[in-house]
Amino acid sequence: MHVFRSMIIEAPVAAVWSAVRAFDGVASWNPAVLEATMETGSAITPGSIRHLDIADGTVFRETLLELSDLDRFYTYDIIDSPLPVRNYVSTHRFVPITHTNQTLGIWESRFDCEAGQETELAAIVGDQIYVGGMTGLNDFLKGQRHE
């Protein structure tokens, strides 16, 4: 299954990437994440594992697979989560919109799930997690001075 969401973030790409680059920094901008801690490695080193405490009481454990400062993206997988998914790999990338000095945020994943769960998981992953997270990121960045 493929889930894809995108949105305009009202800040320049350098400010957006600075906010999201550290794999354990997600709690500062994503309202669904109460705490993010590194279990192993560092927040920018592929192979490192983060532990996320989610507002609904659930826990996610994820591995940073790839991070590119040049192309402004990171890719991760899920080790443990309450989601009924397998082989979950996700990429969150950021593209400058040069005309307006904004950023296009793109968050997508591919994973396996049981037949019949696609619609529900598209709503949970795509709308609640991805759109909710990028909306939180946009809100976090609003009001900060960007040049």
Q: Which CATH number is 15's domain given? A: 3.30.530.20
Residue carrying the six token digits 């800040």: 11
Look over the chain and give the mean of its residue pLDDT values, rounded to a whole number. 96
Please say if the pLDDT value at position 147 is more than 70.
no
- CB neighbour class for 107 (10 Å; exposed up to 12, middle 13-18, buried from 19): buried
Total structural domains within the chain: 1
Residue carrying the six token digits 């950023």: 103
Are 59 and 51 within 8 A, CB to CB? yes
Residue 76: closest CA among 67, 68, 135, 103: 67
- Note whether residue 147 is domain-resident: no
Task: Tell me how far apart the alpha carbons of residues 33 and 2 are, in angstroms, rounded to a whole number.
Answer: 23
Please say if the pLDDT value at position 14 is more than 90.
yes
Are 59 and 53 within 8 A, CB to CB? yes
- Note whether residue 86 is domain-resident: yes
What is the rounded average pLDDT of the residues 4-13?
98
In the chain, which ranges are E strands?
A: 2-9, 33-40, 49-54, 59-68, 73-80, 86-97, 102-112
pLDDT band for position 17 (cuts 50, 70, 90) = very high
pLDDT for res 51:
98
pLDDT band for position 105 (cuts 50, 70, 90) = very high
What's the pLDDT tens digit per position in 43-101? 999 999 999 999 999 999 999 999 999 999 999 999 999 999 999 999 999 999 999 99
Please say if the pLDDT value at position 145 is more than 80.
no
- Note whether residue 146 is domain-resident: no
Give the domain extent around 40: 2-141
Radius of gyration of the chain (CA): 15
Higher pLDDT, 64 or 145: 64
- Note whether residue 70 is domain-resident: yes
Residue 120: closest CA among 96, 92, 147, 84: 84
pLDDT for res 73:
98
- Note whether residue 59 is domain-resident: yes
Please say if the pLDDT value at position 143 is more than 80.
no
- Note whether residue 22 is domain-resident: yes
Within 10 Å of residue 50's Cβ, how many Cβ atoms? 24
- Note whether residue 82 is domain-resident: yes
pLDDT for res 146:
53
What is the rounded average pLDDT of the residues 4-21?
97
What is the rounded average pLDDT of the residues 25-48?
97
